[in-house]
């Protein structure tokens, strides 16, 4: 019986990794750069259902970012996803009801808004941020504008798509049926 739980854990993690990587790659034009909505980040609610989602999200992010060809993104972008997944898992253990649902997407929004602008600036060389009315140059202005942009994109993905995903999965009872501790 114990080996069945290990197999289930590995299978769930592998499915999450495959979903994250394939969604990111399929929607790459929206999943990268200074203005991004990485829809695969909606999957960051999955640690509420299964701890296997934590390594699954991390591995999926590493794979997607390596396919983009940037090792800094694979290291630090995936670190943001891992930290967010770990925090989301802990939120699932300590909160219930509406608080759980409102707090669960927050780590992905915050960690990515802090870390991804550094990856874009140093890893990809985005040293300016251009809008229709202004051009921002220098580390802090570019970091600040990129952080706001990533924060907005993450909020759209994690709250706008992640919460409906959570509600749909909760309604289907899929994770309860396969033995998760939701």
Domain boundaries, the chain: 2-28+41-177
pLDDT value of position 181: 44
The DSSP secondary structure of 12-30, one letter per residue, reads: HHHHHHHHHHHHHHHTHHH
Q: How far apart (Å, rounded) are the C-alpha atoms in residues 141 and 144?
A: 5
pLDDT value of position 87: 98
pLDDT value of position 164: 97
Sign of the dihedral defined by the CA atoms of residues 94, 85, 18, 52, in that order? negative
At 96, list the tokens: 């219930």
pLDDT value of position 176: 61
pLDDT value of position 182: 43
Contacts of 58 (CB under 8 A, 6+ apart): 78, 81, 82, 85
pLDDT value of position 180: 43
pLDDT value of position 128: 86
Chain position carrying tokens 């993104």: 73
Q: Which residues of the chain have pLDDT under 50?
A: 177, 179-182
Q: How far is CA 73 from CA 32, 68, 86, 142, in A?
A: 10, 8, 19, 18
Q: What is the pLDDT of residues 81-120, one digit of tens each?
A: 999 999 999 999 999 989 999 999 999 999 999 999 999 9
Contacts of 134 (CB under 8 A, 6+ apart): none
């Amino acid at each position: 019986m114990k080996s069945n739980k290990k197999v289930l854990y590995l299978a769930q993690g592998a499915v999450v990794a495959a979903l994250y990587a394939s969604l990111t790659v399929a929607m790459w034009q929206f999943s990268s750069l200074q203005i991004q909505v990485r829809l695969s980040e909606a999957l960051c609610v999955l640690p509420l259902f299964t701890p296997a989602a934590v390594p699954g999200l991390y591995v999926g992010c590493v794979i997607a970012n390596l396919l983009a060809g940037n090792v800094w993104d694979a290291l630090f972008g995936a670190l943001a996803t891992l930290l967010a997944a770990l925090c989301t898992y802990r939120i699932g253990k300590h909160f219930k009801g509406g608080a759980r649902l409102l707090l669960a997407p927050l780590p992905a929004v915050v960690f990515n808004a802090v870390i991804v602008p550094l990856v874009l600036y140093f890893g990809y060389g985005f040293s300016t941020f251009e809008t229709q009315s202004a051009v921002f140059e220098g580390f802090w202005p570019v970091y600040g504008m990129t952080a706001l942009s990533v924060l907005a994109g993450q909020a759209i993905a994690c709250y706008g798509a992640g919460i409906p995903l959570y509600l749909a999965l909760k309604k289907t009872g899929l994770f309860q049926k396969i033995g998760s501790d939701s």
